[in-house]
Structure 1
């Protein structure tokens, strides 16, 4: 089964889950609900560790670099990410109500027990070592300390801790996700909710892809305008990076292609070699669009209250917590789980649904991220005092 990619396995899990729910196999649904209860509690336990494992080393590693160039690149990546999330919010809140019925999902419907989710046979509790905000503050403190101090002891420890967290995601969470997703969809199908999810989110995904393309055009219009180049020509040169990311679902794995295409767009070799790997770690405009859009759709379907004043805090924190999300499928949503719970009030069922929906189009969010990295590199190239000297194909 591992020879297949994550997306085919997730699709298989969704199909099997729907089939089990349609056939009304109550005991099987209860077994899957029990697995989901244990798995969901494990996710709750590891979320603070993911935050510490990602954010602390990510901030610490930003202590290396070229002074103002590093600071400017980091600020640009953060601003780009926040603009993308805010843009998605305003577009989504105007478009989603046209095809989305508020309050039509309600996974735990107490007013109609027949439409409530099946409960776990046992209730397993795995309390986290710390809450999400404590983990964030702790991660900031450790990360800033690593960046400031010249000693490597804590840095080496946190780097190794990050490897442990990444290994847990790769070896436990990612392999078990298809079964977890199967349980979610079996339960929703049994409760008569799955048709709503499938019909609504097919349209939501179309909106997300259009948002990705729009933000890329915006980024390259700025980069092209500053450098006196045609943004469509610059964007066309980056298409190999886009399609590589669609296939790999990893910003890190796409770095060689992104770097090569950015240089072909005329960026100074040194600037490209510095910025592209950095942006692959800290610039996540596509992922932010997806997380914002999927979470908004779920909140609307559940009838939950939200506003831009409350949502902007979530978007601002996303730009930080996703720093150094690992180069594995779903790294961004794993890093965002704590915020979904603490800032948006997502229940374990909703966070599990969020994982499924995000991972279903993760490759396109990653493609938007890495393609946008090329635009930001060209902007930094201009502010560093270099002009674009487009390389010829060899």
Structure 2
């Protein structure tokens, strides 16, 4: 009884992140003032914080290839077992939606962000203003791209071959990574974000960084809302009927996603919303849980625009040649996002580093940006799932109508007579 009451009182991730950001800003700002006054005590404190951030970054670097291997391979294997026409249609729609979201974010970002985001001076991005007291090198078992390719090979093999021993081993690895995420990484994320903002504030670059984040927030949220309307416009055109009316029944699921930050946790409410919108039971029971795993348009918008903004703040130029393969790969990698808050950025961190060339300090910023708006990204994801379900339901109903009708035995007897 006491344990359950304690769990109810426990703050969710978003409030803890906001508290972490506020604490980091307070400590770093005070440290910056006293650092200017040549006070070594606070300089030492910021270096202690920088040490924690550096060690946590090393642990993330070690964990990410294992996360990609476990989640992508098991995800592909489990999706492969469900292979049928309905699955193929849903997968194609979800992937196309994610890719369109990514390119929409890129073209919006390439138009607006160069005017909104300026290069941040100093060493806040490079992370060299306050060196950690010590570091421990935690080399990954294998590089990111090796992990991704190995995950594809194992996932496709397990989907098409009878390999129960291999499947059990990789599923056990996935369970280990889930425990590490839920018990170690996610609980420490608020402290990690606090340390990041403490370093930024201590380096005297708080104002430009906060301004950059605010501009990125506005762009991300506006595009997510516009993209929701776009998805329902496509569904309306496909079905030749008004599906915008579905949005009023999706409001409970949207706000549930805002509170839980988890597409998986929102599935029961999403299923009820789909039922209220007249989606056939067999379609909604298949499409909604599947899209909660594979359709992450909101995360894609955030990661694409956020990465572009951070690159511009570093003085780098985000080109289409750089981002096109990243967006296509991001659509695949999002399948690996576990059903925990912040899973999207954790799954994508590998290709952000390997394909976009992000440094550890740049990764700290994209993690902070993504996690602090993850509620809205999740809400965008699950709302878009309803438009996919509406299209799949229409296709499935047309297929059933086109199937040849088999006369009942009684009808044949009457015709013969």
TM range (shorter): over 0.9
**Partner SS state of residue 356, structure 2:** coil
**Retained in 1: the 8 A contact 2:120–2:208?**
no
Which residue is 2:193 aligned to? 181
Which consecutive segments of 4 or more residues in structure 1 shift more than 3 A?
A: 102-106
**Retained in 2: the 8 A contact 1:106–1:302?**
no
**Retained in 1: the 8 A contact 2:298–2:377?**
yes
Shift of 1:320: 1.0
The reply to whether residue 140 of structure 1 matches residue 152 of structure 2 is yes
C-alpha distance in structure 1 between counterparts of 2:122 and 2:193, whole Å:
17
Once the two structures are overlaid, the 10-residue window that deviates more, 245-254 or 155-164, is 155-164
Structural mapping, 1:189-200, within 5 Å: 189-200=201-212
Match of 2:11 among 1, 4, 7: 4
Which residue is 2:90 aligned to? 73
**Retained in 1: the 8 A contact 2:28–2:202?**
yes
C-alpha distance in structure 2 between counterparts of 1:162 and 1:38, whole Å:
23
Which residue is 1:119 aligned to? 131
Once the two structures are overlaid, the 10-residue window that deviates more, 258-267 or 360-369, is 258-267
The reply to whether residue 303 of structure 1 matches residue 320 of structure 2 is no
* Unaligned stretches of 5+ residues in structure 1: 110-114, 388-394
Whichever structure has more helix as a proportion of its residues is: 2
In structure 2, the CA distance between the partners of 1:108 and 1:357, relative to structure 1 (3 Å rule), is: closer
Which residue is 2:66 aligned to? 49
**Retained in 2: the 8 A contact 1:268–1:386?**
no
CA deviation profile, 1:258-296 (whole Å, cap 9, x unmatched): 111112211111011111111101000000001111111
**Partner SS state of residue 7, structure 1:** helix
C-alpha distance in structure 2 between counterparts of 1:158 and 1:43, whole Å:
20
The reply to whether residue 284 of structure 1 matches residue 301 of structure 2 is no
Shift of 1:108: 5.1
Match of 1:90 among 77, 96, 107: 107
In structure 2, the CA distance between the partners of 1:266 and 1:135, relative to structure 1 (3 Å rule), is: same
C-alpha distance in structure 1 between counterparts of 2:81 and 2:176, whole Å:
23
**Retained in 2: the 8 A contact 1:106–1:303?**
no
C-alpha distance in structure 1 between counterparts of 2:238 and 2:125, whole Å:
52
Structural mapping, 1:1-394, within 5 Å: 3-24=10-31, 25-104=42-121, 106-107=123-124, 116-386=128-398
- Give the total of aligned pairs: 382
CA deviation profile, 1:149-202 (whole Å, cap 9, x unmatched): 134222222222111111111100011111111111111111111111111211
In structure 2, the CA distance between the partners of 1:166 and 1:363, relative to structure 1 (3 Å rule), is: same
**Partner SS state of residue 133, structure 2:** coil
Once the two structures are overlaid, the 10-residue window that deviates more, 220-229 or 238-247, is 220-229
**Normalising to structure 1: TM-score of the pair?**
0.93
**Partner SS state of residue 80, structure 2:** coil
CA deviation profile, 1:286-318 (whole Å, cap 9, x unmatched): 000011111111001111132112101111111
Shift of 1:347: 0.5
- RMSD of aligned residue pairs (Cα, Å): 1.7
In structure 2, the CA distance between the partners of 1:381 and 1:315, relative to structure 1 (3 Å rule), is: same
**Retained in 2: the 8 A contact 1:259–1:272?**
yes
**Partner SS state of residue 139, structure 2:** coil
**Retained in 2: the 8 A contact 1:234–1:265?**
yes
**Normalising to structure 2: TM-score of the pair?**
0.88
Once the two structures are overlaid, the 10-residue window that deviates more, 149-158 or 97-106, is 97-106
C-alpha distance in structure 1 between counterparts of 2:338 and 2:230, whole Å:
26
